[in-house]
Every structure is written in structure tokens, then in C-alpha cells.
Chains A and B, each alone.
Chain A
Amino acid sequence: NAGVTQTPKFQVLKTGQSMTLQCAQDMNHEYMSWYRQDPGMGLRLIHYSVGAGITDQGEVPNGYNVSRSTTEDFPLRLLSAAPSQTSVYFCASSPDSHQPQHFGDGTRLSIL
């Protein structure tokens, strides 16, 4: 039982490049979310999804896109990377928004 799997674990990008952070869960959870973690700021919600085909914005959505074509996968796209997007990104899932979330181990992203 893998839980929540995030790939890659580490990535270095140049300003202006695009990339997709992958997130997959094998628990058949409907609710999935993306957070970024920055020192002194805790976790901030980027986007979330309450089921396949349904997504919505969190606190800090600018510069990021998401889609949810299947229950299992919830990729996060950076359209044109900026140094301000250097962060650790966490994906999480839960059966619904009321339940505790299961977190992946994160993707550490540096943008030069």
C-alpha cells in the first residue's frame, strides 16, 4: 500500500521553464490537495479537488494549474517558473474534506 506518492523528490528549474509535479494515491480518496511549505509560513493551500473533474483554488493559486481526470492522480503544473515558487510542495489526500489527510513526502523545488 503506497499511500500518496509524489514525483520527483527534487527538481531544479530555470526561471521561465514549465514542469509538472506528479501526485498519485491508491486509497480511492475523493479529496486531494496541494500545499507549499515555506519557512515561517507553515503550509499554504494552492489548489484542491473534491473528486474527479472538480478542482478549486486555495490561498495561493497564482502561477499554478491543476486537473483531476482520475480519482488517483492530481498533477500540479507550473506554467512559467519564478524564483518565488522555490519551495517544498506537498500533495495530500483524504476520503473527504472532513477526514484527516494523508501526505506524500514532498517535492523540493528550486528555481534559479
Chain B
Amino acid sequence: AQSVAQPEDQVNVAEGNPLTVKCTYSVSGNPYLFWYVQYPNRGLQFLLKYITGDNLVKGSYGFEAEFNKSQTSFHLKKPSALVSDSALYFCAVRATGFQKLVFGTGTRLLVSP
């Protein structure tokens, strides 16, 4: 079975500070990992993915994520947050050989001026 946990319902950070949104996963075999962002009244937008290779993945809008196999984590990071980064962020996982993508419950990021 595949599962994803996003332990924080909301993350608050001041503009200019670094941000981290946490994600841990559970799959049998090798994972495909994704981060998506959702703005109000819109569909999800792809940010970045990890399939294989370098553990540090760089994505859109200055976001990056670090794959840690031993801790089964894929935390989303950004060195300097912007107010416009405020949105709902979803982590998702798919196991190799499976067709289904499983999403976490989402973390709301609030960046204050």
C-alpha cells in the first residue's frame, strides 16, 4: 500500500525567511514523489518531482525538495519565502509498477509580510 503524511496542517513563515513543508511517505519499492501547489479556486499545479538520481530536486518558483530514503521523507524547501507563495501544498507518491498516485492531506502555507 502507498501512503503519504503531511504532519502540519499549516505552516506560518515571515517573508524573506526560509520555509520547509514536511512530507513522509510509505511505499513498497522505489517511489516516484511529487509536489503540487494549489491557489484558491484553481486546480493543482506541478512544482517538482523525484524519480531517481540526485537527492536534491529543484523545481518551479525557486522551490526545491530533498529526497531522504532512510527517513522516507521528501520535504519541500525554499530559501526565501514570498507572500505570493501563500497557498495549499500537496505531496504525492506513486510506487514503481503502480498506476495510482496517492496524495497527502495538504499543508497550508501562510507567508506574512
Interface footprint category on A: 20 to 34
State whether the Cβ of B22 lies closer than 8 Å to any Cβ in chain A: no
Q: A97-B94, A100-B34 are in contact. Are A33 and B42 (CB under 8 A)?
A: no
B59 CB to closest chain A CB (Å) equals 10
Q: A48-B99, A58-B100, A97-B94 are in contact. Are A90 and B105 (CB under 8 A)?
A: no
Report A73-91 CB contacts with B as 1/0, cut-off 8 Å: 0000000000000000010
State whether the Cβ of A66 lies closer than 8 Å to any Cβ in chain B: no
State whether the Cβ of B101 lies closer than 8 Å to any Cβ in chain A: yes
Contact A33 B101 (CB under 8 A): yes
Among listed B12-20, B45-53, B63-71, B76-84, interface-contacting one: B45-53
- From B34, B46, B51, B99, name the one whose CB has the most chain A CB atoms within 10 angstroms: B99
A66 CB to closest chain B CB (Å) equals 14
Q: Which residue of B lies closest to A38 (CB)?
A: B105
Contact A4 B43 (CB under 8 A): yes
Sorted nearest first, the 8 A-B pairs with minimum C-beta distance are: A103-B43, A100-B46, A42-B105, A43-B103, A42-B103, A103-B44, A97-B99, A105-B43
Q: List 20 A-B contacts (CB under 8 A).
A: A35-B103, A40-B105, A41-B105, A42-B6, A42-B90, A42-B104, A42-B105, A42-B106, A44-B103, A48-B99, A58-B100, A90-B44, A97-B94, A97-B98, A97-B100, A97-B101, A100-B34, A100-B46, A104-B43, A106-B41
* Chain A residues engaging chain B, CB cutoff 8 angstroms: 4, 31, 33, 35, 40-45, 48, 50, 56, 58-59, 90, 92, 97-98, 100-106
* Chain B residues engaging chain A, CB cutoff 8 angstroms: 6, 32, 34, 36, 41-46, 49, 51, 90, 94, 98-106
